[in-house]
Amino acid sequence: MSTERLQKILSNAGIASRRDAEKMIVGNRVAVNGKIENILGSRANPVDDLITVDNIPISFQKYRYVALNKPPGVLTSARDDRGRKTVLDLLGKNDITMHPVGRLDLESEGLILLTNDGQLTNLLTHPKHRVEKEYLVEIDRPLGKVQRLRLMRGIYEKGELLKATAVERARESNTSDSEEDRWLLITLQEGKNREIRRMMGVMKRRIQTLRRVRIGLLNLGTLKIGEFRNLSSDEIATLYAPFKGTENMQ
């Protein structure tokens, strides 16, 4: 595909009118393959080039972003040598460029983000960014306030510190008052391997349900288990928003 003027590309992508796109360009907000382009008349290839506005990719035809509600028993992996079902199998498409962002263990369910955008994957998963993940957890016996605070202060399991950012009582819509205290909303930032299951093991609790309901600012919402949907441009921008100005941004 031949090159086009940047303002035309931005306009065709629905980012802004051509006049506003020109303001973005001269305002040093537009980059092509990591290089700021601030001269009107600059050109790019909308298919092959990575074009960003405020470090957010606008070439959405090049990248895919999918939210999936993972069922228990499905691997959070692009493929499996043993032939087990993976989250990519649920998409129904053989897209080898797509990959899950982060992991959920085999028994857990809930929100998984799949994409072929390596930059966003790095931002959301790098430990230094401390991106929050929130989980709805059902346990066999309630945890009192002191025990919930203990999880936030941190506990050790096999010499490793496990720590939640927040632990709150939650209630599922179909639970009774007697069951209410068995449901918790737990927020993590580091997301160590099987962290919540290990914490609950230390607390002598058995997990009945472990469902991720949020990654950063992206919520599971009403997405039914096993279903998936493409993210909107606003949701993609929201995921990128906390990282504006980050040194790792291209």
Query: Is pLDDT of 94 > 60?
Result: no
Going from the N-terminus, what domains does the chain have, and what CATH number goes with each? 4-57 (3.10.290.10), 65-128+218-243 (3.30.70.580), 132-215 (3.30.2350.10)
Percent of the chain with pLDDT over 90: 56
**DSSP letter for each residue of 117-167:** -HHHHHHHH-GGG---EEEEEEESS---HHHHHHHHH-EEETTEEE--SEE
Q: Which of 89, 95, 105, 181 is catalytic?
A: 105
Q: Within 13 Å of residue 107, how many CA atoms lie on the same side as its CB?
A: 9
Q: Which residue has the higher pLDDT, 181 or 226?
A: 226
Q: Is 20 a catalytic residue?
A: no
Report helix, strand or coil for 209.
strand
pLDDT tens per residue across span 197-230:
999 999 999 999 999 999 999 999 999 999 999 9
